[in-house]
Amino acid sequence: MEKRVAITGAGMSGLLACKYILEKGFDPIVLEAMESVGGLWNHTIQSTKLQTAKESFQFSYFPWPSSVEEVFPHNNQVLEYLESYAQHFGIIPYIKFNSKVVSIDYVGEPYGEMESWDLWGGTDKPFGSRGKWHIIVQDSRCCSTELEVELAYLESGINQLQSLCPYHHSLLRLQILFKCQVHQVEFVVLCIGRFSGVPNITEFPPNQGPEVFSGKVIHSTDYSSMDNASAAEFIRRKRIAIVGSQKSAPDIAAECANANGVEYPCTMIQRTAHWLLPSASFWGVSLSFLYFNRFSELLVHKPGETFLLKFLATMLSPLRWGISKFAESYLKWKLPMKKYGVIPKSSFFQEVSSCQIKMLPENFYDQVEEGSIILKKSQSLSFCKEGLVLNGEHQPLKTDLVILATGYNGDQKLQSMFKSEVYQKYISGSPNSMVPLYRQIVRPRIPQLAVIGYAEGSSV
């Protein structure tokens, strides 16, 4: 029998998955919640550009068009590139737009049997097991959040009903009641995007959170979801505080500074200072040349390394240290980090290794120098009526709008796709590690399923 494959998401990862699955002779279905391809590149802030040189952000068999001359293309160009990829490889007809996957559930072997498997799916084959994934899909144009709650509620009722009536009967009722569709497939590829959807928002103690603040609090994803004109209007002539110090925070700070100048300076509040680069090369030496090459791989210790590799990494450690110090000295010379007290505690090498090196927006420190961006450090923060209370400051930071550029909770987003609590647990990483995927794609305890787009890389 023909094996059915469903791909969730038509961003870069989903498009790529679809192309290869088509090449293998399958007839996939791509379920995409939005009405277009390209994923997060549909909703970036106006100034977003690639922070990776375009040669490092391209499908090796599908180069950027010659009309894109920029080294770091603008978000519109990235979106066009992804759209043209989808067109070129005939992916569009396989995509069902406005189709939000609410949950996926593996219906097959009992957990007891699966737990005894030594190999992925029992046989180490993608279609090795007997089960199927039931995918519940909602039309994202018609369903409200309230309805989703209802749906979850009904689903829990169905669990109890299962002992009384056949499973497919319950699913049919669900489908009729909520205009949901239930797809049954043998393999699922989750490409739902790690950096979108579920914002990472800190919980505050009672009376210290946004509820006591008289201004507005949004997450960076809310800001990037606005169209450019609405976003510009939204920030105009407001006193803005931006929380975060990785990529979104300085980008948004720069947009606010461009809009409001020194009259309404914005404040960027950092918990941790990071090494942020003004350009991708140092004195003409490319960062990729220093760190992302075959030789640089020899500079680091790796799990399960042989004696020879261990010996080499140890012998070359002075060189590793030297490159790191070279980069740090260059940045401290180039940028007034010392003046503003934002020299990171971690070494440049540590930050490269943990994928925390990001690019600064153009002229960021010029805006800091002119006073349209104010940099502040605070290990923790809380809200009061007028604004934010920062560590070590007696007066609150008076603010009209707080933008939390505090990143995403991609792991929680992935977990929430699974109906089964057992799979939710399998897919969870520990608090200090990423989702545990073999080759960053397969969770060996979960059969007939792959995840793409959750790999940790130095260029994102």
Ligand X SMILES: Cc1cc2nc3c(=O)[nH]c(=O)nc-3n(C[C@H](O)[C@H](O)[C@H](O)COP(=O)(O)OP(=O)(O)OC[C@H]3O[C@@H](n4cnc5c(N)ncnc54)[C@H](O)[C@@H]3O)c2cc1C
**Cα end-to-end distance, the chain, whole Å:** 40
Q: Specify the DSSP element, H or E, that contains 449.
A: strand 449-451
Nearest CA to 132 among 99, 170, 162, 105?
A: 105
Point out the residue whose Cβ comes nearest to ligand NAP. 407
Alpha-carbon gap, residue 393 to 433, rounded angstroms: 33
Q: Which residue, 10 or 185, is less far from ligand X as judged by CB?
A: 10
CB 219, CB 403: distance < 8 Å: yes
Minimum Å gap between C-beta 412 and ligand X is 12
Q: Which residue, 349 or 454, is less far from ligand X as judged by CB?
A: 454
Q: Is 248 in the site for ligand NAP (CB under 6 A)?
A: yes
Alpha-carbon gap, residue 37 to 43, rounded angstroms: 11
Q: In the stretch 82-111, what mask flags binding to ligand X with x, by CB under 6 A?
A: ------------------xx----------
Q: Which residue, 371 or 457, is less far from ligand X as judged by CB?
A: 457
| DSSP class of 418 | B
Give me 228's structure tokens. Answer: 């450019």
Max CA pair span of the chain: 73
Q: Is 192 in the site for ligand X (CB under 6 A)?
A: yes
Secondary structure of the chain: what % helix, strand, coil (to 5)?
35, 20, 45
* Selected binder of ligand X within 195, 234, 330, 426 (CB under 6 A): 195
Q: Is 136 in the site for ligand X (CB under 6 A)?
A: no
Minimum Å gap between C-beta 77 and ligand NAP is 12
Q: Is 244 in the site for ligand X (CB under 6 A)?
A: no
Alpha-carbon gap, residue 266 to 401, rounded angstroms: 10
Minimum Å gap between C-beta 29 and ligand X is 11
Torsion angle of the four alpha carbons 295, 299, 300, 306, in this order, in degrees rounded to the nearest 10:
80
Q: Is 435 in the site for ligand X (CB under 6 A)?
A: no
Angle, alpha carbons 215-233-48 (nearest 5°): 100
Say which residues have a Cβ less than 8 Å from residue 205's Cβ, sequence separation at least 6: 382
CB 103, CB 136: distance < 8 Å: yes
Alpha-carbon gap, residue 31 to 162, rounded angstroms: 27
Residue 459's binding partner among ligand X, ligand NAP, none (Cβ under 5 to 8 angstroms by kind) is: ligand X
Amino acid (one-letter) located at 30: V
User: Could you give the C-alpha distances from 245 to 27, 208, 344, in angstroms and in order?
Assistant: 44, 22, 11
Give me 85's structure tokens. Answer: 């990829």
Q: Is 450 in the site for ligand NAP (CB under 6 A)?
A: no
Q: Which residue, 184 or 380, is less far from ligand NAP as judged by CB?
A: 380
Q: Which residue, 181 or 272, is less far from ligand NAP as judged by CB?
A: 272
* Selected binder of ligand NAP within 13, 48, 138, 448 (CB under 6 A): 48
Q: Which residue, 232 or 460, is less far from ligand NAP as judged by CB?
A: 460
Q: Which residue, 220 or 448, is less far from ligand NAP as judged by CB?
A: 220
Angle, alpha carbons 257-238-335 (nearest 5°): 25
User: Which strands, in side-by-side order, build the sheet including 449-451?
Assistant: 95-96, 29-31, 5-8, 187-190, 449-451
Minimum Å gap between C-beta 339 and ligand X is 29
* Selected binder of ligand NAP within 73, 265, 407, 410 (CB under 6 A): 407
Q: Is 460 in the site for ligand NAP (CB under 6 A)?
A: yes
Minimum Å gap between C-beta 102 and ligand X is 7
Q: Is 51 in the site for ligand NAP (CB under 6 A)?
A: yes
Minimum Å gap between C-beta 172 and ligand NAP is 41
Alpha-carbon gap, residue 22 to 2, rounded angstroms: 13
Q: Is 77 in the site for ligand X (CB under 6 A)?
A: no
* Selected binder of ligand NAP within 50, 240, 290, 357 (CB under 6 A): 50
CB 457, CB 451: distance < 8 Å: no
* Selected binder of ligand X within 5, 6, 7, 12 (CB under 6 A): 12
Q: Within 29-48, which residues bind ligand X (CB under 6 A)?
A: 31-34, 39-40, 44, 48
Residues of the shown chain interacting with ligand X in the complex, contacts defined by CB under 6 A:
8-14, 31-34, 39-40, 44, 48, 50-52, 57, 100-101, 191-193, 195-197, 453, 459-460
Residues of the shown chain interacting with ligand NAP in the complex, contacts defined by CB under 6 A:
48-51, 195, 200, 202, 220, 243-249, 251, 271-272, 358, 405-407, 460
